[in-house]
Amino acid sequence: MTAIPIELLARATPRQKVALSHDVMEALVLTPGQTVVLRVGGKRAAAPVALDPGGTGRVLVGASLGRRLALPARARLYIRRNMDGTLELGPFFGILARVIPHLPPYGEQNRDFRLHMAVGRRRHVAVYAFGPGDIDLRRRTVRARVYDEARRRWVRRTMPLPHVVWNRSYWPGNANRALLRRTLRKLTRRGSVPFNPGVGTKWQVYRLLLGDPQLRRHVPATERYTGIQGVLRFARRYPGVYMKPLWGGWGIGIMRIRRLGPNRYRVSRTVGRRGRNWSRVVSRAGLAAVVRRLVDGPYLVQQEIPLARLDGRLCDIRVLAQRRADGQWGVTGAVVRVGKPRSIISNLHGGGQALELRRALQRIFAHRPELAARVEADLERLAIQVIERVEARFGVFGEIGLDFGVDPTGHLWFIEVNSRPGRHSFRITSPDETWPATSANPVEYAKRLAKFD
């Protein structure tokens, strides 16, 4: 049966009763006095139905029944009648995320989560955030965090287990990643539908794409770092070499090596998260010593992509792809990121800036306008091809960030995929168009996964 949008008022009627406005009762084909079974996030309870004469589109739930089902005191939701005759309230959409100590709870994601919750209130979806330690599987509840707009602060509330779980978490370390996998498995066994499982290491993704004949030509030559001989071999073969940590992001720990002549190399490395570079010229022996000292974990060795530049600065393209309400993939937005002068990276954490895609491409390819149009047309096609390959290997996603480079000929190069992309660049470049859609699409997709669409 089609889900019906309603306003839920818990604790607003006698303790064990459910009162429905006339229009809701009629749509659900119910009669006063009938006993129904209410389902919410894996919990269920039987209750008699009464008529609410006071309004339309309302469901009133008694106080003890509301507590038993862990319902919020007030919410805009849907109600549907399932094939087994039970009535289900929802959807409850949980965002699985890590609380950042000594910061507003979710750090850079705070603004995004607040916007998802605001969209949810308008579109009859209860959105909340939680972590692995907030789950009570025995009671089938979550000690969630929601943003209280009236009080302008984050508050804790007990909520039902989510119909849908969006993995927006980042916990470094093998033990934490194992905890995350166990959490998602437990929720799945209790009926939650997860999306965005994570994409493994950069090396796993590169190997995956190199194995696809259509995508191979868009992937720079890449190897695992096994010693200085591999770096020297790449330095002889290509004008420049990049070394990147297998894990991590924000441009931290990236090195660029360029061969200047016999026994002379320039090594540059990012320092911290502010885009500062450390650079020096060394001999072959000096290069080996520098690499050994700076490589503090698993690394990749990669051909430097001959990126197009804007005003002499490095550029790349960030694409945000999302599933829409119909479940289909589309590119919600794309921006060109321009690095700081003399920077070896272009991302915003490294001090770069974001520019609207079309205008930036027109500036980059001012001498050949047809290239700008071709790159824009190729971008969505290539992004969807990469996503389809990634999903076939890692599981179902609702949104993915992809970084591409473009060279002076207009050829697109794959750089990285991110299962937890930021949205700051779209707020800067298109606050009235792309920016609202980035918040709405995940909520609409969750509604679809929960079958309340």
pLDDT category, 172, cuts 50, 70, 90?
Answer: low
| Residue 445 belongs to some domain of the structure | no
- Give me 377's structure tokens: 């047309």
Q: Which of 144-153, 415-424, 425-434 is predicted most confidently?
A: 144-153
Is the model more confident about 391 or about 15?
A: 391
Give the pLDDT score at 210.
Answer: 94
Q: Do 166 and 146 belong to one domain?
A: yes
Length of the chain, please?
A: 453
Whether this prediction's pTM lies above 0.85 is answered by yes
Q: What is the percentage of the chain residues whose pLDDT exceeds 70? A: 94
Q: Do 57 and 132 belong to one domain?
A: no
Lowest mean pLDDT, pick from 109-118, 182-191, 214-223, 429-438 = 429-438
Lowest mean pLDDT, pick from 31-35, 100-104, 196-200 = 100-104
Is residue 58 over pLDDT 60?
Answer: yes
Lowest mean pLDDT, pick from 147-151, 237-241, 246-250, 308-312 = 246-250
Give the pLDDT score at 353.
Answer: 83
Is residue 276 over pLDDT 70?
Answer: no
Is residue 250 over pLDDT 70?
Answer: no
Q: Write down the residue that tokens 């609702």 correspond to.
A: 398
Q: Do 349 and 376 belong to one domain?
A: yes
Is residue 274 over pLDDT 80?
Answer: no
Q: Do 415 and 321 belong to one domain?
A: yes
CA atoms within 13 A on the CB side of 279: 12
Lowest mean pLDDT, pick from 10-24, 89-103, 291-305, 363-377 = 10-24
DSSP helix/strand/coil, 267: strand
| 101: CATH | 3.40.50.20
| Residue 384 belongs to some domain of the structure | yes
- Give me 436's structure tokens: 């609202």
pLDDT category, 431, cuts 50, 70, 90?
Answer: low
pLDDT (average), residues 309-320 = 91
Closest CA to 190 of 158, 157, 168, 165: 165
pLDDT (average), residues 328-343 = 88
Is residue 272 over pLDDT 80?
Answer: no
Closest CA to 312 of 292, 287, 340: 340
Q: Do 433 and 322 belong to one domain?
A: yes
Cis peptide before 172 (omega within 30 of 0): no
Domain that includes residue 283, residue range? 221-303
Q: Do 58 and 182 belong to one domain?
A: no
Give the pLDDT score at 20.
Answer: 95
Residue 224, classified by CB atoms within 10 Å of its CB into exposed (0-12), middle (13-18) or buried (19+), is middle
> What is the dihedral sign for C-alpha 364, 370, 371, 376?
positive
Give the pLDDT score at 436.
Answer: 85
Domain stop point among 33, 54, 88: 88
Give the pLDDT score at 320.
Answer: 95
Q: Do 32 and 145 belong to one domain?
A: no
Is residue 191 over pLDDT 80?
Answer: yes
| Residue 214 belongs to some domain of the structure | no
Q: Do 324 and 402 belong to one domain?
A: yes
| 79: CATH | 2.40.40.20
Closest CA to 429 of 330, 327, 361: 361
Rounded-to-integer distance, Cα 103 and Cα 99, Å: 8
Nearest 5°: the CA angle 113, 329, 432 is: 50
pLDDT (average), residues 120-128 = 98
Q: Do 311 and 436 belong to one domain?
A: yes
Q: Do 239 and 158 belong to one domain?
A: no
Rounded-to-integer distance, Cα 141 and Cα 279, Å: 53
Q: Which of 29-38, 241-250, 270-279 is predicted most confidently?
A: 29-38
pLDDT category, 351, cuts 50, 70, 90?
Answer: low
pLDDT (average), residues 264-281 = 77
Closest CA to 168 of 450, 444, 389, 442: 442
Lowest mean pLDDT, pick from 158-172, 228-242, 417-431 = 417-431
Q: What is the mean pLDDT of the chain?
A: 91
Q: How many domains does the chain have?
A: 4
pLDDT (average), residues 245-254 = 77
| 322: CATH | 3.30.470.20
Q: Do 232 and 292 belong to one domain?
A: yes
pLDDT category, 319, cuts 50, 70, 90?
Answer: very high
Q: Do 189 and 107 belong to one domain?
A: yes
